[in-house]
Structure 1
């Protein structure tokens, strides 16, 4: 069998050269990423050692009091007839407080969603259906701006001003204590974010499960560290509250840019951008991780995509908005810790490239293994690799073991030990989704630079966690630990 190639080099020698270059590239960025994550781990462990550092538990009687001010809850919808009725009914049933108005934004060309909302709570005074005069879908931010205008009109008509605005999605299952917790926090800060808890669907959940792993680690470790360091906090778009005054200030700033409201209609991740703007305008934010008397996390529960194509679509939107648009729209202003966190937020495309190189390296290694078996002692050899390559490989192996342990730890604490053991096995799934999403996001970003109109590329939802048997109870042990 001939391995000859052009230029006097054999195919095996080319593979050996590619192996060396890919190894250098991947190791360089893996080591940097590993150090970055180890610093966050070290800060988190230091916080854990502080006296009194634990998740506060709120008693059941907390929800019996009154809110400190009126709260507006915004939900933007497009083709959500399958789940929005359940979401509205769940909100109206769980939130006993009377000082809130639930604003549901719909489009004039989406009668099924309007009918689903009306059938559930059309006569409830806490519900306000806002019909957008534009044909949908536009962007989620554009729909939120229409809701904001309706809220402002209600304030003028009633002569009452809201204290805060809470954002939610049409597929969310809310916690009964959420509004009370956000209301109390908004007395001291201008923005508050509560955790997001992806639910585990029935049957195989290799794709949906990786959301559980990522959010369990991000909202129990990374966001806790970010909050402790005083860095800007990204809004997740659900279970997040903004003070009325701050949202109005952001709206005034947007008006100078000829925008139509506080939500950036030309941004795919308007919620993330909103959270990051608050400290730049002199506001303060906080991340609150609390549990109720039964040990359930106070935050939002929802199902995430459970197929690769739908997951890629969703993460494409996140990567396009946060990593690519965020670079353009937010820049690199702020303190050193904010720049560090911005790098962490926007590193997605680079991570995808490094992971792709690593998987190509695995293929090359497989081909070289076949060549070694075929050629035996006649196998060509390049110059002896530098010793630091061997040390780098060993270091990365240790780093992978440590990261797998940390991910299993956080997933296991929230969802139980079985899911914790599966978390490291789902890492390749998460990597593949990220690689595919990065390619799609880069292509979409290039189209937008060419003038393509941004459209709400939303995730389809057909199942609601409030309808499943396990939604009302925790699906794993709830230890008193972050």
Structure 2
């Protein structure tokens, strides 16, 4: 009797949560469909789709790439080597920020640089880890010193992480579009970790569908409805003037009091009247789109650690720091950004209800109790089942477009793994948030990285 009552209450809570979230996602889907159809009818019939080859800047300029690095000796050398070998742009400088108590990363940067003046090592004046934003501000200050010394200004700053595989055409896209926009965000393509076993591939592969859908639909809709385009922290160019405005009265444009300085900076630029753009454009040689490739955590603890940082910075601390500014569209998008902890609670309730119902069913088969009835009215179960199937179909479609049909076939297992990570991350995020509130201190809660094969 107690199990039956508990299963019903948990199932009811989960059903209501799934219904609200499913309808919210359905609105995003319908807007994306309408926008896509409209652009195909009105824009692409009159104008050919742009590619990295057809984009050209009227005023080419110097581009600065910022890479903060704390204990990244396993990947930073490969990142630098790839950038030097592949980037197609005449004038760029890569600033790598390191800490004085991280000699392994410093040595890896020096070995990969090999006297190349386009790569500049910046060692901060504080032991690590501080925050990612604090490290980025060191790079900003070093860039300003170089500007004063060389008597030329940087046109834009590009944000990257130490594990990113840069795209050869990305700087050309930034250079062409940063004159029109204050922030230009390219898609991020998640790459499964290879050679570490099936479980590592499954966990890291769960990010593939998430990023494919987020950067194929959700950010597109966000821009379409007039909400600010947040920076993903990688594959993002920010105009020099917008950064200078954000840095006014401070040590730099990045706020060291947050775990998600990139996300907040994008929203602050939008709130200040700046224009952001999410850009999907084909590569110059026609081989796929211009996107940043990166591997994500391969174990559940590391994945939960990473997502906990995102949840803490965006959904919990972000609520305190950014509030609910902006119009209806902006508030809607911020609500979607901040619903993750509640969504994790809904998922936990659903899994618990299924387990309890399974225990009751087993007891009924053994004759130890009456066989349980359905914990919810049939229409509720069928409606939510339809919304879940719809969600999985969309995820598979975007995964297939970005990563191929083989990865699309793993959509359901990836979604289950993603749910487990989300629940664990929500618990950890609450602990992180409480710690920040109590101590007032924010530290770089980073994860172990692998460079894409």
The two structures have a TM-score, normalised by structure 1, of 0.88
Correspondence 1:100 to 2:87: no
How do residues 194-205 of structure 1 correspond to structure 2 at under 5 angstroms?
A: 194-202=186-194, 203-204=197-198, 205=201
Matched with 2:323 is: 331
Q: Residue 192 of structure 2 contacts residue 202 of structure 2 at CA under 8 Å; is this kept in 1?
A: no
Matched with 2:107 is: 115
Matched with 1:222 is: 218
Matched with 1:260 is: 251
Correspondence 1:379 to 2:370: yes
Counterpart secondary structure, 2:154: coil
Q: CA deviation at 1:23?
A: 1.8
Correspondence 1:154 to 2:146: yes
Matched with 2:289 is: 297
Which runs of no fewer than 5 residues in structure 2 stay unpaired?
A: none
Q: Residue 98 of structure 1 contacts residue 126 of structure 1 at CA under 8 Å; is this kept in 2?
A: no
Correspondence 1:422 to 2:410: yes
Correspondence 1:189 to 2:181: yes
CA–CA separation in structure 1 for the residues paired with 2:371 and 2:205:
44
Spell out, residue by residue over 1:181-238, the C-alpha distance to the aligned partner (whole angstroms, 9 max, x if none): 0111111010110000011222421111110010011110111111111211111111
Correspondence 1:280 to 2:271: yes
Q: CA deviation at 1:295?
A: 2.8
How do residues 68-147 of structure 1 correspond to structure 2 at under 5 angstroms?
A: 68-147=60-139
Spell out, residue by residue over 1:40-77, the C-alpha distance to the aligned partner (whole angstroms, 9 max, x if none): 110111122124367945265868x8962211110000
Matched with 1:406 is: 394
CA–CA separation in structure 2 for the residues paired with 1:40 and 1:321:
23
Asked which structure has the greater CA Rg, the reply is 1
Counterpart secondary structure, 1:364: helix
Matched with 1:270 is: 261
Q: Residue 247 of structure 2 contacts residue 254 of structure 2 at CA under 8 Å; is this kept in 1?
A: yes
Q: Post-superposition, which runs of at least 4 consecutive aligned residues in structure 1 deviate over 3 A?
A: 51-57, 59-63
Q: Residue 360 of structure 2 contacts residue 372 of structure 2 at CA under 8 Å; is this kept in 1?
A: no
Counterpart secondary structure, 2:159: strand
CA–CA separation in structure 2 for the residues paired with 1:308 and 1:184:
40
CA–CA separation in structure 2 for the residues paired with 1:79 and 1:311:
18
Counterpart secondary structure, 1:154: helix
CA–CA separation in structure 1 for the residues paired with 2:444 and 2:418:
23
CA–CA separation in structure 2 for the residues paired with 1:97 and 1:72:
12
Of the three residues 33, 51, 54, the one matched with 1:58 is 51
Residues 123 and 381 of structure 1: CA distance in aligned 2, closer, same or farther (over 3 Å): closer
Counterpart secondary structure, 2:163: coil
Q: Residue 66 of structure 1 contacts residue 97 of structure 1 at CA under 8 Å; is this kept in 2?
A: no
Counterpart secondary structure, 1:226: helix
Correspondence 1:238 to 2:217: no
Spell out, residue by residue over 1:397-416, the C-alpha distance to the aligned partner (whole angstroms, 9 max, x if none): 11111111111111111111
Counterpart secondary structure, 1:192: strand
Which runs of no fewer than 5 residues in structure 1 stay unpaired?
A: 1-12, 469-482
Q: CA deviation at 1:447?
A: 1.1
